[in-house]
Structure 1
Amino acid sequence: MARPGAFQFDRERANNLEAGLKYKAGALAFNLSVYRTDYDDLQVNIFDGTLNFNVRNAAGARTQGVEADARIAVTDRLTLSGAVAYLDFKFTDFTSGQCFFQQVPGPGGFCDYTGKRNALSPRWSGNANADFRQPLTDALKLGINLNMDFSSSFIASANLDPRTRQSGFARLGARIALAADDDRWEVALVGRNLTNQRILQQAGPLPLSTTITRGGGIAYTGIYDRPRNIALAFNLRF
C-alpha cells in the first residue's frame, strides 16, 4: 500500500565549478578538465520498510575529479587515442540509507552512509584505441581497430552492500573491416569483450529473500555485461 506523500519530493540543487584546457598542435590534440559539484537535497531511492522504494530528498553529496583525453596521428594511417578519468564521490549527508543484510541499523531503522562512496562510481576509468587504415586497391581499403576500456572496483548495489563489489577490470575489443574506397559498403568482423570478463553492472537483494529464508540468508539478483561476442556486420549506403 502506498503511503500518503510517498511520491512527493523537492527538486535537488547542484553547485558546479569546472575548469578546462584544450590543446592542439599538428597531429596531437589534448583535453583536460577539472570539476567539483556539490549537491543539496539529492534525490535518492529510500526503502520504505515493506516492498517499495520511494524517491526522497535524503542526501547531500560532493563529486569531484579530473578527466583527460588525447589523440595523436602517428602516421597518415595510424591514429592512437585514449581517455582517463579520476572520480571522487562521497555523500556529505546521508543518514537515511537502506541497510544491507546483517548491517546494524541506526535510529529509525536506517543506516548512515555519510562519508561513503556512491554505488557504480569507480575511482578510475578510461579507454584506449588504435585505428589503422590501409588502401588495398584503388577501390578497396582495410580498417583495423583495437580498443580497451578499464575500470577500478566499485559497488554495484544502491545500498552499498560490499557483497556486490565488482573488481577492477580491463575489457578488450577489436574490429577488422573491408570497405569500398568511397565508403558505400563495408563488411566488418567485430569482437567485444574478447577476454570474456564477467562484469557486474547492477545488483541487489531479491524482494522478501530474507523472509523466505527466515533470516538465515539472502538471495541476490544481478545484471552482467555481455560475455565475449563476435559478430559480422554489413553496411550499405544508398
Structure 2
Amino acid sequence: MYEAEEALSTEIGIKSRLFDQTLELNATVYKVDFDNFQLNLFDGTQISTANTGEAHSTGLEIDFQWLPPVPWLTLQGSVGFNKTRYGDFPCGPTTWDDRDALPECGEDAPPSQDLTGKRLAFAPAESASITPTVRLPLWPAREIGAMFAVDIIYQGDHFLDPDLDEKTYQEATTKINARLAISPLNKLWAVILNAKNLTQQKERLLVLDAQQQGGNYVAVTHPDETLYSIDFRYNFGFLD
C-alpha cells in the first residue's frame, strides 16, 4: 500500500515585452516540495508504487520570442535549469547486483541503498531550445508562401530508473529537426516536409534492470536515424 502524494508549489515570474514590442521575454523561478513522493518500481516481474517521503525540485525557466529588424525572420527559444533531490530516503531501491539491505530498513526488507540527497531520475538539470523561422513569398501572384524552421533541442544528462543504476544513465543530447511548409496566405491547405533527428542522436526513454535476471536490461528508445515525412493538410468549411 502507498499513500497519496502531495506537493506544495511556489513560483514567481515575470512577463515582458521589450524593444518596441519586438521581444517577448518570460521568466519563472519555482520550488516544489513533495510529501509522500511516489515512485514506480520494477522488480523484474511487476511494477509497484512506493512512497519515498520527501523530494524537492527548484529551478528557473526562461522563454522568449524575438522579431529581429528583418521582416522574414522570427526567433523563439527557451532555457531551463532544474535541481531535483530526494529528501531522507535511506531505504531506496538498489541495483540488481546489490543484494544487501541496510540495517535501518529491517531484517526482512528487500535490498536497498541510501538515496538521501541524490538526484531524481528522469530530471535533466539543464534543457534549452532555439527555433529560427524564415517566411518568404514563394509565388506572390498566387499568394503562396513558404516557411522554413529549424529546431535545436538540448537535453541534459539524467538517469532513467529510480535506482540510479549507471547502466540507465542517459548522456546529454542535442537534436536538430527541420521542416519546410508551403501554403497560401489564407492557410486553406499546406504541404509540410519534415526531417527529425538530423544529428542521429541516440536517446533512450526508459531503462529497467530485470532484477530477477541479473545483468539484463529492458530499454525503450527513440529511433536514432533521421526520419522524413510529408504532411498534407486541408481546412474544410468556411474561413474568415
Q: CA deviation at 1:57?
A: 2.4
Counterpart contact for 2:44–2:213, Cα < 8 Å: no
Q: CA RMSD in A?
A: 1.7
Counterpart contact for 1:41–1:59, Cα < 8 Å: yes
Equivalent in the alignment of 1:76: 71
Q: TM-score, normalised by structure 2?
A: 0.87
2: CA distance between counterparts of 1:32 and 1:163? 35
Q: Considering Cα pairs closer than 8 Å and 6+ residues apart, tell me whether 1 or 2 has the greater RCO.
A: 2
SS of residue in 1 equivalent to 2:53: strand
Counterpart contact for 1:174–1:191, Cα < 8 Å: yes
2: CA distance between counterparts of 1:46 and 1:60? 17
CA gap 1:188/1:106 in 2 versus in 1, 3 angstroms: same
Identity of aligned residues (%): 25
Greater shift in the superposed pair: 93-102 or 115-124:
93-102
Greater shift in the superposed pair: 89-98 or 121-130:
89-98
Q: CA deviation at 1:46?
A: 4.6
Counterpart contact for 1:46–1:96, Cα < 8 Å: no
Q: 2:231 aligned to 224, 230, 233, which one? A: 233
Q: 1:59 aligned to 40, 53, 63, which one? A: 53
2: CA distance between counterparts of 1:151 and 1:33? 19
Find out whether 1:14 has 2:7 as its counterpart: yes
Equivalent in the alignment of 1:220: 217
Counterpart contact for 1:59–1:95, Cα < 8 Å: no
Q: CA deviation at 1:149?
A: 0.5
Which structure 2 segments of 5+ residues have no match?
104-108
Q: 2:32 aligned to 17, 21, 37, which one? A: 37
Find out whether 1:175 has 2:179 as its counterpart: yes
Q: 2:23 aligned to 28, 33, 37, which one? A: 28
Which structure 1 segments of 5+ residues have no match?
1-7, 211-217
The total of aligned residue pairs comes to: 223
Equivalent in the alignment of 2:116: 114
Structure 1 segments of 4 or more deviating over 2 A? 49-54, 56-59, 101-105
Q: TM-score, normalised by structure 1?
A: 0.88
Q: CA deviation at 1:190?
A: 0.4
